[in-house]
Chains A and B, each alone.
Chain A
Amino acid sequence: QSALTQPASVSGSPGQSITISCTGTSSDVGGYNYVSWYQQHPGKAPKLMIYDVSNRPSGVSNRFSGSKSGNTASLTISGLQAEDEADYYCSSYTSSSTYVVFGGGTKLTVL
């Protein structure tokens, strides 16, 4: 069982927007602005999409945005494209002794 809770799957049609949630506790998501999001296509390594809750690394489309409210962080993808179909994982610093914890992942299907 993962430390952070994500929905197993979400779906949307091209052009639409979707949001993936990531719920933790005050010891991780809620207590620190160190939430990151990763995109993983089948057979590939994860790719950093968002860091520090809402910052995008250079080269990541501005269709990807992040936010946080209380113990829940969210990743929003606007203007869905076929290439966005992938697994998405959230991660957070944790004040427990585990350094970082990950969510169980969310499979995004573009209909």
Chain B
Amino acid sequence: QVQLQESGPGLVKPSQTLSLTCTVSGGSISSGGYYWSWIRQHPGKGLEWIGYIYYSGSTYYNPSLKSRVTISVDTSKNQFSLKLSSVTAADTAVYYCARDLSGSYYFLNWGQGTLVTVSS
């Protein structure tokens, strides 16, 4: 059973860059066949897909965040990462990493989520 675990700072200052890492266990990112996504949930609100990466490094981002988002993968560590630049209070959210079978458009595996607060 694949497990995902987010890690990173829980507090980021405005205008700085939010950085999170998702560590995958029980399966290999480099085996292919899956998209590895970041999804966020603002406090008390719905879900927002941020973007995904394939093991090859190809990415696809939500157009509303594209100018500030970078997702990268480190297959040697079985990890993928999110960077969100120029954050504001509106980026305060629980950030989840998740996996979907390429082209399936549903997320079977999720991390537990990590709360990131943007505040000075």
Contacts and interface: CB of A to CB of B under 8 A. Distances in A.
B107 A57 contact: no
A46 B112 contact: no
B63 A104 contact: no
A102 B111 CA distance: 18
B26 interface: no
B48 to A, nearest CB: 7
B77 interface: no
A102 B48 contact: yes
B104 A98 contact: no
Interface string A44-63: 11111001100001000000
Interface residues of A, number: 25
A74 B64 CA distance: 28
A48 B46 contact: no
The size bracket of the interface on B is 20 to 34
B96 interface: yes
B55 interface: no
A99 B64 CA distance: 12
Interface in A45-92: 45-48, 51-52, 57, 89, 91-92
Contact of A34 (B45, B49, B105, B111): B105
Interface string A88-111: 010111000111111111000000
A48 B106 contact: yes
B47 A98 contact: no
Interface string B100-119: 00001111101111000000
A36 B106 contact: yes
B44 to A, nearest CB: 9
B105 A93 contact: yes
B49 A104 contact: no
A44 B48 CA distance: 16
A105 B108 CA distance: 18
Given A34-B104, A46-B96, A91-B105, 13 more contacts: A34-B106, A38-B47, A45-B110, A46-B47, A47-B110, A51-B106, A91-B47, A93-B105, A98-B64, A100-B105, A102-B47, A103-B46, A104-B45
Interface of B: 45-49, 52, 60, 62-64, 96, 104-108, 110-113
